[in-house]
Chain A
Amino acid sequence: MQDRFTAATQEVLAYLHEQENKDLLRFITCGSVDDGKSTLIGRLLYDSKQIFEDQLAALDKDSARWGTTGGAIDLALLTDGLQAEREQGITIDVAYRFFATDRRKFIVADTPGHEQYTRNMATGASTADLAVLLVDARKGVLTQTRRHSYIVSLLGIRHVVVAVNKMDLVGYDRSVFERIVAEYRAFADRLDIPHVTCIPLSALAGENVTTPGTAMPWWEGPALLPFLETVEVAAARTQAPLRFPVQWVNRPNQDFRGFSGTIVAGRVRPGDAVAVLPSARTSTVARIVTMDGDLEEAVAGQAVTLTLTDEIDVSRGDVIAAAGARPEVADQFAAHVVWMNDHAMMPGRGYLLQFGTHLVGGQITEIKHKVNVNTLEHTAGKRLELNEVGFCNLALDHPVPFDAYAECRETGSFILIDRVTNATLGCGTITFALRRAQNIHWQPMTVDKAARAAAKGQKPCILWFTGLSGAGKSTVANLVEKKLHAGGYHTYTLDGDNVRHGLNKDLGFTEEDRVENIRRVAETARLFVDAGLIVLVSFISPFREERRMARSLVGADEFLEVWVDAPLEVCEQRDPKGLYAKARKGTIANFTGISSPYEPPENAELVLAAGEHDPETLADQVVAALKARGIA
């Protein structure tokens, strides 16, 4: 027993030692539908003996039921794990698979080929070191081949293997392979992918996958797996300046205050001078704390807890960085954005942006251009639809530390989140900061809002009237203003129709123009509040998100949302401007309530039952509400 134990121990120790010297390659397989991605992974797993007997038995059964190979083992079914995928014979979401050879460990993300699931392809690609791009030898380079190549280059993957698959179906013809290679290279030369390798193979026949085949004696390059085992991909960025985004403040007791996080670039030692961004306070690293004891040094990729020699304010979202090579801090920058949601991205609409461990509100201020993934041409656009890519300017509610994505993935990337549904809407890679963020500082005025308000003897605020066309917003606002004016208050009314004659006369009624319409009005209202006025805004403003944006511009007690709530039938019956009749006939597009939605307020300060009471009564209700708040 003792001998057997010792033998096993020796053997396992030797094995573990060998494992420790293995590194890890994370790669994706991508390409168009039916190019054979899942079959290729199945082949890699099968040939590297990663499939267990019971899984093989289940596969046999599944092949008979779902398979597309006429009863023979369908290797694609190994990775298509969802019922819907097996039924439809397509890949919907990324599947992660694991295998190892004597030289390396591999994590493979099998990504979907259908255009509608591009976001899932991007999910897989964002953590990969290399991409295996499959091309069907019979079809050559397709739209999806180009789309995936573009996304791969956008996400900074520097190694692409073009696997020209199904060579068996073209008689292993060298000229077919060479034609595809030439076509692909002509496209890829315009992308930022430094290393492109092309390999002809047949996943189904196992030709040139794990071992060189016999069917293509003309091929002198490596088979796929030997190539994957030996390709050198960049190691973790341990030579770059330190970047340590703080995830969690570690405070077990009064005597210990550490900052937990993962080093995403560089290395750190006790005694190193560091800066904490965005505050730019500086300190020195005291300890690198782990459960296994303090470390002398930690490098990119390690999750540790740092303590500093000074009691400075550090919280989640801050970046601890090398004092001599800091990230940029800005609230405006340019980035490529990949949109992943059915609801199009609108410039001016507010989103949440997650940067590393930092969550901040912001918006896309401008789409500089969209990228046609087929031709790589730049096109103009006012919105980004699902799966579109745009080069955009963004503005945040406050400055954040970041690097260009090309410099550091972790501090140069972000995701966009919907404020209402919490869905992940898209992702972005930062190109550069926009200089004006640093150079145009807010001009502090000696005479400020409080001084101007005091001179007028009033509390400035925005009264935001929202509701359907014909609900009576302008009528009520007009009466309220009359009453306030009579009481000696300084007021101004911004009316939807009137503003469209001047400031906003360049805007139409598409969703993106409506967003911009509201943004300009909200900014104008803010300036008037700053001037000390009580501002009455009378706008349909159908989207919650834009009203929320307007609210966010001023103080919490300076914004009153007044919902002039009249039923659609009542408004349509009144139809003071004849607009409903035209909308019903279809001569006005995007008309709120008819062909464009109205999103009712959820937390309006005041709801006016505009179908039941006359405007005079409603105006009195508004004035009473202002009195209750000490405004009137």
Chain B
Amino acid sequence: MSDPVRLTHLQRLEAESIHIMREVAAQFRNPVMLYSIGKDSAVMLHLAMKAFHPSKPPFPLLHVDTTWKFREMIAFRDARARDLGVDLLVHINEEGVAQGIGPFTHGSAVHTDVMKTQALRQALDRYGFDAAFGGARRDEEKSRAKERIFSFRSASHRWDPKNQRPELWNLYNGRIHKGESIRVFPLSNWTEQDIWQYIYLENIPVVPLYFAKPRPVVERDGTLIMVDDERMPLRPGEEPEMRWVRFRTLGCYPLTGAVESTAASLPEIIREMLLSRTSERQGRVIDHDQSASMERKKQEGYF
């Protein structure tokens, strides 16, 4: 009898995520992985490669492109899908594009609803996906902290937070009727710190925007916004200036605040995060409306 082997914290999280992904592959007819290009998606994709090795993940990636993502994100996305040999679907809400919806003209709430929430629902309906992985974590936000790993959605994509299915042990009930679906969160129990540690230990590629370097930014309403392309209208007196910044989360560039930083390597990022006194979602303009805004958005079909 040798000593009992104790798995580390990250090994336990990794195994749990892989177990969840395999359950989805086995229980559903037509799953998809929502790939948002950020660090959580990077970890989720890496775990999917592990879960099904030597097979490829038996589902495609789906990126809901609002057309306002950082250019470096799109380049990274395409390179990653090509390098790993996985299927990538890109969906854009063409009606929204035709109406000229954008964060500068319509504000963050309308933009997010049309180009993200509605676009996601369109894509799920078009392809008939019955399960969709998302990289959300419970430590991100209060309503996320309440969500099941297999989170049931009605045929109209709604979440009913007051009436969730009991979820016991690692037994995930994936049974649904036609039109209904399940959102699956394999990273539920990971924290931001776990994500970065895992990226470091597993050497997972991430978008360079996470690393600090001089970038053109303007300071607007207390948030540093990077001028990523010519679509950004500058207000009187605004002059882009080069500052050492990086991003803790990634999304649409007009809605994503940069943080001043000189952390240009993973160890430096991890160290900076350990010392940080603000949460990562602070840089997200869309969460600021009010505390319960995420719950409401989720009920309407947002991830």
**A9 on interface, CB distance cutoff 8 Å:** yes
Q: Which residue of the partner chain, among A24, A251, A291, contacts B50 with CB atoms under 8 Å?
A: A291
Q: How many residues of B contact A (CB 8 A)?
A: 74
Q: Which residue of the partner chain, among A53, A54, A248, contacts B22 with CB atoms under 8 Å?
A: A248
- Asked if residues B270 and A12 are in contact (CB atoms below 8 Å), the reply is yes
**A8 on interface, CB distance cutoff 8 Å:** yes
Which A16-43 residues have a C-beta within 8 angstroms of B? 16, 19-24
- The segment from A90-98, A369-377, A461-469, A503-511 found at the interface with B is A90-98
B144: shortest Cβ distance to chain A, in Å? 8
- Asked if residues B270 and A303 are in contact (CB atoms below 8 Å), the reply is no
Fill in one digit per residue for A392-435: 1 if any B CB lies within 8 Å of its CB, else 0: 00000000000000000110011101000011100100000000
B149: shortest Cβ distance to chain A, in Å? 10
- Asked if residues B173 and A422 are in contact (CB atoms below 8 Å), the reply is yes
A123 contact set on B, CB distance < 8 A? 148, 166-168
Q: Which residue of the partner chain, among B4, B14, B145, contacts A79 with CB atoms under 8 Å?
A: B145
- Asked if residues B167 and A424 are in contact (CB atoms below 8 Å), the reply is yes
How many angstroms from the CA of A296 to the CA of B138 in the assembled complex? Answer: 34
How many angstroms from the CA of A9 to the CA of B12 in the assembled complex? Answer: 25
How many angstroms from the CA of A424 to the CA of B151 in the assembled complex? Answer: 12
- Asked if residues B4 and A236 are in contact (CB atoms below 8 Å), the reply is yes
How many angstroms from the CA of A538 to the CA of B255 in the assembled complex? Answer: 67
For chain A, which range describes its interface: under 10, 10 to 19, 20 to 34, or 35 or more residues?
35 or more
Closest B residue by C-beta to A267: B5
Which A44-65 residues have a C-beta within 8 angstroms of B? 52-55, 58, 61-62
Q: Which residue of the partner chain, among B4, B7, B49, contacts A302 with CB atoms under 8 Å?
A: B7
Central interface residue in B170, B282, B296, by most chain A CB within 10 Å: B170
Closest A residue by C-beta to B138: A96
Q: Which residue of the partner chain, among A22, A92, A248, A261, contacts B9 with CB atoms under 8 Å?
A: A22
A94 contact set on B, CB distance < 8 A? 146
- Asked if residues A84 and B173 are in contact (CB atoms below 8 Å), the reply is no
**B98 on interface, CB distance cutoff 8 Å:** no
**A120 on interface, CB distance cutoff 8 Å:** yes
B144 contact set on A, CB distance < 8 A? 81
B259: shortest Cβ distance to chain A, in Å? 12
How many angstroms from the CA of A95 to the CA of B164 in the assembled complex? Answer: 13
B120: shortest Cβ distance to chain A, in Å? 22
**A340 on interface, CB distance cutoff 8 Å:** yes
How many angstroms from the CA of A86 to the CA of B166 in the assembled complex? Answer: 21
How many angstroms from the CA of A352 to the CA of B268 in the assembled complex? Answer: 51
* A97 and B145 contact, Cβ closer than 8 Å, known pairs A84-B162, A422-B175: yes
How many angstroms from the CA of A52 to the CA of B49 in the assembled complex? Answer: 33
- Asked if residues B279 and A52 are in contact (CB atoms below 8 Å), the reply is yes
- Asked if residues A126 and B169 are in contact (CB atoms below 8 Å), the reply is yes
- Asked if residues A356 and B171 are in contact (CB atoms below 8 Å), the reply is yes
B89: shortest Cβ distance to chain A, in Å? 22
- Asked if residues B169 and A422 are in contact (CB atoms below 8 Å), the reply is no
**A11 on interface, CB distance cutoff 8 Å:** yes
Which B278-303 residues have a C-beta within 8 angstroms of A? 278-279, 282, 291-292, 295-296
Q: Which residue of the partner chain, among B7, B52, B264, contacts A250 with CB atoms under 8 Å?
A: B52
Fill in one digit per residue for B110-121: 1 if any A CB lies within 8 Å of its CB, else 0: 000000000000
- Asked if residues A107 and B189 are in contact (CB atoms below 8 Å), the reply is yes
* A127 and B169 contact, Cβ closer than 8 Å, known pairs A8-B271, A238-B4, A357-B26: yes
- Asked if residues A239 and B19 are in contact (CB atoms below 8 Å), the reply is no
Q: Which residue of the partner chain, among A20, A53, A81, A236, contacts B146 with CB atoms under 8 Å?
A: A81
- Asked if residues B139 and A98 are in contact (CB atoms below 8 Å), the reply is yes
- Asked if residues B7 and A301 are in contact (CB atoms below 8 Å), the reply is yes
- Asked if residues B9 and A19 are in contact (CB atoms below 8 Å), the reply is yes
How many angstroms from the CA of A388 to the CA of B242 in the assembled complex? Answer: 65
- Asked if residues B169 and A409 are in contact (CB atoms below 8 Å), the reply is yes
Which A332-364 residues have a C-beta within 8 angstroms of B? 340, 352, 354, 356-357
How many angstroms from the CA of A92 to the CA of B282 in the assembled complex? Answer: 27
How many angstroms from the CA of A20 to the CA of B198 in the assembled complex? Answer: 11
**A254 on interface, CB distance cutoff 8 Å:** no
A61: shortest Cβ distance to chain B, in Å? 8
- Asked if residues B4 and A235 are in contact (CB atoms below 8 Å), the reply is yes
How many angstroms from the CA of A58 to the CA of B278 in the assembled complex? Answer: 12
Which A193-225 residues have a C-beta within 8 angstroms of B? none
B170 contact set on A, CB distance < 8 A? 127, 262, 410
**B142 on interface, CB distance cutoff 8 Å:** yes
How many angstroms from the CA of A120 to the CA of B148 in the assembled complex? Answer: 10
A97 contact set on B, CB distance < 8 A? 138-139, 145
A289 contact set on B, CB distance < 8 A? 53-54
Closest B residue by C-beta to A95: B145
- Asked if residues A16 and B166 are in contact (CB atoms below 8 Å), the reply is no
Q: Which residue of the partner chain, among B19, B167, B266, B282, contacts A52 with CB atoms under 8 Å?
A: B282
Which A176-196 residues have a C-beta within 8 angstroms of B? none
Which B1-35 residues have a C-beta within 8 angstroms of A? 1, 4-12, 14-15, 18-19, 22-23, 25-26
- Asked if residues A239 and B4 are in contact (CB atoms below 8 Å), the reply is yes
B4 contact set on A, CB distance < 8 A? 235-236, 238-239
B7 contact set on A, CB distance < 8 A? 236, 299, 301-302
How many angstroms from the CA of A94 to the CA of B263 in the assembled complex? Answer: 36
How many angstroms from the CA of A608 to the CA of B171 in the assembled complex? Answer: 43
**B249 on interface, CB distance cutoff 8 Å:** no
How many angstroms from the CA of A107 to the CA of B145 in the assembled complex? Answer: 11
- Asked if residues A262 and B15 are in contact (CB atoms below 8 Å), the reply is yes
Which B157-189 residues have a C-beta within 8 angstroms of A? 161-162, 164-171, 173, 175-177, 188-189
A267 contact set on B, CB distance < 8 A? 5
* A93 and B169 contact, Cβ closer than 8 Å, known pairs A8-B265, A251-B55: no
**A442 on interface, CB distance cutoff 8 Å:** no
B161 contact set on A, CB distance < 8 A? 82, 84, 92-93
Q: Which residue of the partner chain, among A80, A98, A409, A413, contacts B138 with CB atoms under 8 Å?
A: A98
How many angstroms from the CA of A107 to the CA of B189 in the assembled complex? Answer: 8
B44: shortest Cβ distance to chain A, in Å? 15
B165: shortest Cβ distance to chain A, in Å? 5
**B80 on interface, CB distance cutoff 8 Å:** no
Q: Which residue of the partner chain, among A24, A238, A422, contacts B177 with CB atoms under 8 Å?
A: A422
**A316 on interface, CB distance cutoff 8 Å:** yes
How many angstroms from the CA of A253 to the CA of B33 in the assembled complex? Answer: 23
Which A75-118 residues have a C-beta within 8 angstroms of B? 78-84, 86, 92-98, 100, 105, 107
Q: Which residues of A pack against B, CB within 8 Å?
A: 4-5, 8-9, 11-13, 15-16, 19-24, 52-55, 58, 61-62, 78-84, 86, 92-98, 100, 105, 107, 119-120, 122-123, 126-127, 235-236, 238-239, 247-248, 250-252, 256, 258, 260-262, 267, 289-292, 299, 301-303, 305, 316, 340, 352, 354, 356-357, 409-410, 413-415, 417, 422-424, 427
A-B contact pairs, 10 of them (CB 8 A): A5-B265, A8-B263, A12-B270, A53-B278, A81-B142, A84-B161, A238-B5, A239-B4, A303-B14, A340-B166
- Knowing that A83-B292, A260-B51, A303-B19 are A-B contacts, what are 16 other residue pairs whose CB atoms are under 8 Å apart, sorted by A's residue number? A5-B265, A8-B265, A12-B270, A23-B9, A52-B276, A52-B279, A53-B278, A54-B278, A54-B282, A82-B162, A98-B189, A100-B193, A291-B50, A352-B175, A357-B23, A415-B173
Q: Which 10 A-B pairs have the closest CB atoms?
A: A81-B142, A12-B267, A303-B18, A422-B175, A291-B53, A252-B55, A52-B279, A126-B168, A303-B15, A247-B22
